[in-house]
């Protein structure tokens, strides 16, 4: 039996209902997925540090990086939500939900969404998210160099997902 096309097998996207409208978040591309997955790994390290009483200095996203996270995770739905003037708490919840879906699991995303982002209600999934993030680590670069993407501060004219033109 030949391999079936992945387009027939994989989910077409995440559907998020907000104020009576359903926004479809498309699957992220490979490069964005890897970046979002790396952020999940960092989040797991931060959770471990917080539980162990270690310093969290320098690990918080600045405002531009936070917006980039939401733009990257939501894709075209981000611009649609802005055009519809979705309230900030809803956009933020949708962005984190889409990030969890892309980087951790659909189950973690659903738990976060259905708890309206409440840390208490979604705390039961913390161990699951941490385990998922640890199991997705990529090998270190053999070249000894690292590449970091700078956060954008304004929406790009081309509407691409956080890339500078």
- Tens of pLDDT along the chain (165 residues)? 888 887 777 777 899 999 999 999 999 999 999 989 988 888 888 888 888 887 766 666 667 777 788 999 999 999 999 999 999 999 999 999 999 999 988 999 999 999 998 865 544 445 444 544 444 444 443 444 444 444 544 443 334 444 443
**Which residue's structure tokens are 């270190």?**
140
pTM: 0.65
The Cα-based distances of 104 to 27, 128, 139, 144 in angstroms read 13, 9, 18, 27
5 is a domain residue: no
28 is a domain residue: yes
CB atoms within 10 A of CB 160: 14
**101-127 per-position pLDDT tens digit:** 999 889 999 999 999 988 655 444 454
103 is a domain residue: yes
- pLDDT at site 57: 67
Task: Give the range of the structural domain holding residue 59, as residue numbers without chain letter.
Answer: 12-135
151 is a domain residue: no
* Residue 23 to residue 4: CA distance in whole angstroms: 28
161 is a domain residue: no
The Cα-based distances of 47 to 25, 40, 52, 81 in angstroms read 27, 10, 9, 30
Q: How many structural domains are present in the chain?
A: 1
72 is a domain residue: yes
130 is a domain residue: yes
DSSP notation for 59-92:
-S--HHHHHHHHHHHHTHHHHHHHHTT--HHHHH
* Residue 73 to residue 76: CA distance in whole angstroms: 9
126 is a domain residue: yes
């Amino acid at each position: 039996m030949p391999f079936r096309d992945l387009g027939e097998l994989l989910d077409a996207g995440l559907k998020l209902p907000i104020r009576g409208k359903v926004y479809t978040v498309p699957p992220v591309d490979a490069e964005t997925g890897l970046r979002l997955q790396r952020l999940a790994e960092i989040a797991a390290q931060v959770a471990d540090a917080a539980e162990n009483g270690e310093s969290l200095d320098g690990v918080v996203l600045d405002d531009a990086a936070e917006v980039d996270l939401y733009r990257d995770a939501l894709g075209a739905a981000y611009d649609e939500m802005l055009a519809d003037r979705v309230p900030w708490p809803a956009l933020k919840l949708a962005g984190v939900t889409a990030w969890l879906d892309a980087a951790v699991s659909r189950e973690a995303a659903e738990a976060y969404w259905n708890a309206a982002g409440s840390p208490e209600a979604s705390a039961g999934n913390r161990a699951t998210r941490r385990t998922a993030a640890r199991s997705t680590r990529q090998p270190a670069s053999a070249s000894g160099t690292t590449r970091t993407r700078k956060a954008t501060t304004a929406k790009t004219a081309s509407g691409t997902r956080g890339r500078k033109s």
